[in-house]
Amino acid sequence: MFETLAKVLNVKELRNKIIATALLLVVFRVGKFIPTPGIDYNAVSDFMKDMASNGGAMGTVFTMADMFTGGAMSAGSIFSLGIMPYITASIIFQLLVAIVPALSRIQHEGSTGRKKINQYTRLATVALCIVQAGIACSLLLRPGGQGSTSFVSASATGYEFYFYGIIALTVGTVFLMWLGEQIDEFGIGNGISLIIMAGILSRMPSAVSGIFQDFGTTGGMTPFTLTVLIVLFVLMTLAVVMITLGTRRVALQASKAMRRPGGAGSKRSFLPLRVNQAGVIPIIFAQAIMSVPMYGFSWVDENFGTHLAQFFSMGSYWYTIFYVLLIVFFCYFYTAITFNPNEMADNLKQSGMIIPGIHPGKRTAEHLEKIMTRIALAGSIFLSFVAIVPQFISSALQVNYAIAGMLGGTGLLIVVGVALDVVQRVESYLLMRNYEGFGLAGGKIKGRSTSGL
């Protein structure tokens, strides 16, 4: 392992990219300490700590949102919105490209079309930032059901705070978007994904510190609980790695017209179809939808709202049922949007490749759609399991959700997925330089085959 790391540092281009990525991520972490104008930092910090420990379902929602921003929300930073508005805009346009014919034609114009779509995405990000920043400023001025104490300093008037707050929060997200593009150009890995991963990992030291502070205290964490948490963390990480790399390999061979005896066309190849085609998107969508009723109940009649909240509080029976159903639905929906069997069948036909025993064209598209439907079921079941594991661990072992969240959910999926992507990119540089990769026995990291599905 150390020999491989030494080889990484010996490649000048790769070394420069790693250094540039590290420096740009440091800039991202420094931005956490730049406060939003007019915010009472101590009031926001105390509120977030109280919500994390005693906030119930809404406290879990705030904790998860703070995790994606790397603690910027609890710090009242200009990065409080994080990069999520850009992620939301990207997902929206990704769906619109598959639905709206005009955008689909622009997308197929090559690099010029992709630049136009990216420009539309940036403009949509700014619009989403203004809306979300306005809502955030409104909540900071009038916490409503969460208490009457304002989180804005006495010296800041309402209109001034709205003006400077919206500008600061919008500029913060736009800067993060620009920072991600700089990582794409000068660093290694996907810049936006690395920013999200850095924010999630920045929360781990405080979670680990909380474990050791609670360890051995009266009524605190026992050695047995700590051992179970460590074992579960290792097992869940291995499971996420396996499903992230998991593929269903569809056998391909050259058509008779392209086949030559003993030539490259006579060798069988494979078309890898990802088991987790939708990635972490279904969990993000499901969490966003499930947070709406929990937030809405805090603004209705106290008795009525409390009664309804019992059915949709995180960890409850109905919450878990609806949460899993939403994950399964969005897994199929997003897979159907991003995976086009007809287009893939046409590409195979044009390249002279066929699936043995399946006629090219329509039959191939139907076969690929049938396979994708089956593996999407496996992917949705796994995503549902990963999403609800932290709830059960937090309830069964009586540990804080911030600690249990390290064992599954969105954070673990993102961290593992981004880390594997970076490793594969570094590995490709090493292989181009005739070095061995990171895999076992110097082999290249490969996706797991799930041909039995």
Over range 12-32, report the average pLDDT.
Answer: 89
Q: Return the CATH number of the domain spanning residue range 19-202.
A: 1.10.3370.10
pLDDT band at 438 (very low <50, low <70, confident <90, very high): low
Q: What is the DSSP string of 198-254?
A: HHHHTTHHHHHHHHHHHBTSTTSB-HHHHHHHHHHHHHHHHHHHHHHH-EEEEEEEE
Instruction: With a cut of 70, say whether residue 267 has pLDDT above it.
Output: no
Over range 286-295, report the average pLDDT.
Answer: 70
Provide CB contacts within 8 A for 98, sequence distance 6+: 104, 337, 338, 340
Burial class (CB in 10 A: 0-12, 13-18, 19+), 163: middle
Over range 234-260, report the average pLDDT.
Answer: 80
pLDDT at residue number 188: 87
Is the pTM higher than 0.75? The answer reads yes
pLDDT at residue number 170: 94
Percent of the chain with pLDDT over 70: 77
Over range 409-438, report the average pLDDT.
Answer: 78
Instruction: With a cut of 70, say whether residue 350 has pLDDT above it.
Output: yes
* Cα–Cα distance for residue pair 285/277, rounded to 1 Å: 15
Residue with tokens 């082999």: 443
Over range 20-24, report the average pLDDT.
Answer: 92
Superfamily of domain 203-453: SecY subunit domain (1.10.3370.10)
What are the tens digits of pLDDT across the range 90-136?
888 888 887 888 888 888 887 888 889 889 999 999 999 999 888 88
Of 218-227, 236-245, 379-388, where does mean pLDDT reach its minimum? 218-227
* Cα–Cα distance for residue pair 162/166, rounded to 1 Å: 6
Do domains 19-202 and 203-453 share one topology? The answer is yes
pLDDT at residue number 25: 92
Sequence ranges of the domains in the chain: 19-202, 203-453
Instruction: With a cut of 60, say whether residue 302 has pLDDT above it.
Output: no
Return the higher-pLDDT residue of 48 and 272.
Answer: 272
Q: What is the DSSP string of 279-336?
A: TTHHHHHHHHHHHHHHHHHTTS-HHHHHHHHHHHSTTSHHHHHHHHHHHHHHHHHHHH
Of 9-13, 84-88, 328-332, where does mean pLDDT reach its minimum? 9-13
pLDDT band at 26 (very low <50, low <70, confident <90, very high): very high
Instruction: With a cut of 90, say whether residue 171 has pLDDT above it.
Output: yes
- Partners of residue 270 on adjacent β-strands: 251
Q: Are 104 and 116 in contact (CB under 8 A)?
A: no
pLDDT band at 289 (very low <50, low <70, confident <90, very high): confident
Sign of CA dihedral 106, 111, 116, 117: positive
